[in-house]
Structure formats: structure tokens, C-alpha cells
Amino acid sequence: MALERLSTALSEAFKKLTKTDKINESHLDNLLKEVKVALLEADVHTMAIDVFLNRIKDEALGQKIFGSLKPNEALMKIVYDQLVDLLGSTEEAFAYPASQHVTMMLVGLQGSGKTTSAAKLAHFFKSKGRKPYLIAADLMRPAAIDQLEILGTSLNVKVYTDRSSKNALQVVKDGIKASRNENVDTIIIDTAGRLHIDETLMNELVQIKSYVNPTEVLLTVDALSGQDAMNVAASFNQSLNISGLIVTKFDGDSKGGAVLSAKTVAQVNVKLVGTGEKTDEYDLFYPDRMASRLIGGGDLLSLVEQAQTKLDTVSLERSANRIMEGQFDFNDLLDQITQMSKMGSLKSMLSMLPGMGQMAQQVNDADSKASMIKSKAIILSMTLEEREDASLLRASRKNRIAKGSGVSVQDVNRLISQYEKTKEQMRMVSRMAKNAKGFR
């Protein structure tokens, strides 16, 4: 995940401070030097770095934290506050009244992820009860229309296309006219990009914006592009007055400096980050939550929100009731594995838990996914009786299950051992819950 190295550097810097009873200006200067190196390595724009570090020093000196009882905590709070300010506005993105008709225009360079981002926005708005409608106005890249149609179909969202047209503005005009018969309230326009910014591209986009008068003009930038993303943002902003950024490929091993540079350098806030290729793999961008993750405080709110949208609450409640009754078999373990796989990246989940940032970096998502797939295959190769009664799993049955699932007998034994440990933990939870009820 982007900014992991920056998070590690900040955590290590604060660890050194916790070993110090009192902090003096020398300690502060050393901390700021380490933070500066980490920010440069994260490809944060030098203008944003200078503003950030100067504000921290001014705040620390102004609050007179040197010699206070817990100066390291006071300094951490200052760094957190300045990170929030550096990352952008705390105003919630895309919070519109139900009665408001919304039109969004996506712009950006070719290959920055506009088309996928358009589909992600459609997914988001549909999940909020709105009725999105997509217009395929990228006529420069032939595959863009096909891609948007496929994504729209997967979301059951209408996509307006006109493959015969060579005029993007006319496509937008016709698409908006057609949308009036579709009972929609959110129009998302996917526009063309170029390999670099040129006059032809900007003229086309300016014409579309002038006609549409959109609620939002969102620029997609690739997290891998580093400081170049800010140069692109500044250029687009000058001509189109963009309202926000969508940072794509934020799940990769990118440095992620764009999200920390956007407000200072391009005077625009990040509103959404892409965390994968699928239409539901994105996060609304909350500066306070990102700041908390960067200093090792986790992001429990986002984790809970993801669980609410991705997990089967009926299945979870059923499993919880069985656990409380002291029942736990392989069907329950299979259900747990299935629920975990819906949450996506284990590394991302761990990074949202307070103090687990460094452990998250040691997790290999590919290995975790492969392990879950293997475990599911083993359980699905068991008979219903075997899933309900693990005592039936003798040598001959283990051999059959191993062959049926394409794994080794050692893998089967390993899963059975994991199941037994989990079952014992569940028994303990059940006993504790019952004792608590009796105590009350």
C-alpha cells in the first residue's frame, strides 16, 4: 500500500521520542530531519514538505511543549493535526442531498484510470441509493467505450455510447438528452485523455465543461507518477478549475506522495483513491483517517464501514450464535474464510488496526489469498458428515480429501490443527460469555 514506508519512518521517529523524558529543540530538529527524508522518499513535493515541517516547528515552539510532562504525545498531536491539514479538507466527499441532480466529468491523461474510476463512482453512488448513468465520451481510445460498457453491465448501470461519432461534445449532448428518459440523478462522463497535455485536449474538455456545467470536475492521477502528478494537476486546474483528485493504483508499491502534495501544490483535495482493479475496490479519502494511519493510530472507522458493506451480516449473526452455543465445525470455518476473502487485502485490513502498521508490511497478500483458496478447497472436498464431525477424519479420509483438493496430506493436517485451535478458542469465548451473563 502506498505511503507504507512513510508510516514506518514516522513510527520509528516517535518511538525514539518515547524513550526521552524531556524534549528539547535539538530533539525536534532531529525528528524533522528524519521526517523530511521520509517525505522525500515518498516523492512528496518539496513545496509541501517545507510548508509541513515549518508549521510543525512553529506549532511546537508556540505551544511550548519542551519540558512538559508528555512532550512526545503533544508533538505527535501536532504532527497529526498538520498531516490532516496537509492532506486536505475534512469535508465529506460526494455528500449531496437526495434531491440534487449531479453531473460529474472525469479528466486526466491517457492510462491514468479514468474509465475504471468512472465505474467505481457509479458503484459508489448506486450503493448510496442514487441512480447513476455513464456517458462514454472517450473517442480517442477505441477500447474505452467497450470497457465502460462491460463495467456498466456488471453494475447494471446504463451506459450511453455512440461509436459512429467523432465529436465528443456531441456525444455528451446526446447522452445527456437521452438520460432524461432514464430516470437518473447522477451523470458520470468519461472523457478522452492524451499521452501528454496539449491544446486540442484542453479545448475539447473546456467545451464539454462549458456545455455541461458539471457539479464536479475530477482529475484522475496515477499514484505511481509521483511528483509529475502535481504538474499534471496544476495544468488541468488552470484550464478546468478541477474540484478534486482521484488517485488510482493506491494499492501498489507506489510512493503515494501525490496525496500529500495535492492541497499545497495544486490547491485541490483528494476525494477518492483506487485500491484495486475491481469496481468496488476504492476508498473515499478522509484526511483525518489517513493521518491516523500514517502515525500508527490505525483507521477503525474505515474498517467497520468496509465490514458493513462487504460482509453478510445474516451469516455473521448465525455464526456468532453458534459460537455462543459452543458449536463450531468446518462449515463455520468455511464461512469465516469466505467472509475474510470478501474484505479483500489482509495487508490493508491490518494497516487499519492501531499499532499493526509494521506487521501489515510483513504480510504477503498473494500468499494469504493462496492459503485461503487452499483451505476452502480442502473443506469443500470433505463430506457433509466430515465437516460436522472432525473426529471422522482418519488417515484414509485425509488421503481422499488431499487428492480431491489437489494438496498434500500435510496441508490437510495443518488445516485440521488450525481448526482445532480455533474451536478451542471459540469454546473459551463461549464460556466467558456465559460466565459474564451469570455474573450480571
Name the residue ranges covered by the structural domains of the chain. Answer: 4-87, 102-296, 304-439
Query: Is the CA virtual torsion 57, 58, 62, 63 positive or negative?
Result: negative
Options 3.90.980.10, 3.30.70.100, 1.10.260.30, 2.40.30.10; CATH of 304-439: 1.10.260.30
- CATH H superfamily, domain 4-87: SRP54, nucleotide-binding domain (1.20.120.140)
Helices and strands (DSSP H and E) totals, the chain: 20, 8
**DSSP 3-state of 14:** helix
For residue 422, pLDDT beyond 80:
no
User: 235 to each of 197, 213, 419, how far by Cα in Å?
Assistant: 8, 20, 56
Q: 309 to each of 312, 333, 342, how far by Cα in Å?
A: 8, 21, 10
Nearest of 280, 288, 332 to residue 306 by alpha carbon: 280
Query: Starting at the edge strand that comes first in sequence, how are the strands of the sheet with 216-222 ordered?
Result: 159-160, 132-137, 186-191, 102-107, 216-222, 244-248, 270-274, 282-284
**pLDDT per residue as tens digits for the range 153-192:** 999 999 999 999 999 999 999 999 999 999 999 999 999 9
341 versus 288: the higher-pLDDT residue is 288
Does the pLDDT of residue 219 top 90, yes or no? yes
| DSSP reduced 3-state for 215 | coil
Q: What dotted CATH number matches 102-296?
A: 3.40.50.300
Q: Where are the alpha helices (DSSP H) in 128-242?
A: 142-155, 168-179, 199-212, 228-240
Q: Quick check: 356 pLDDT over 50?
A: no
Closest CA to 296 of 96, 1, 11: 11
pLDDT of residue 69: 46
Query: Mind listing the pLDDT tens digit for each residue in 45-60?
Result: 888 899 999 988 888 7
Q: Please count the residues of the chain.
A: 440
User: Does this model's pTM top 0.75?
Assistant: no
Which residue(s) pair with 106 in the sheet?
Answer: 190, 218
Mean pLDDT of 108-126: 94
What pLDDT score does 323 carry?
63
pLDDT class for 439, splitting at 50, 70, 90?
A: very low
Average pLDDT over the chain, rounded to an integer:
81
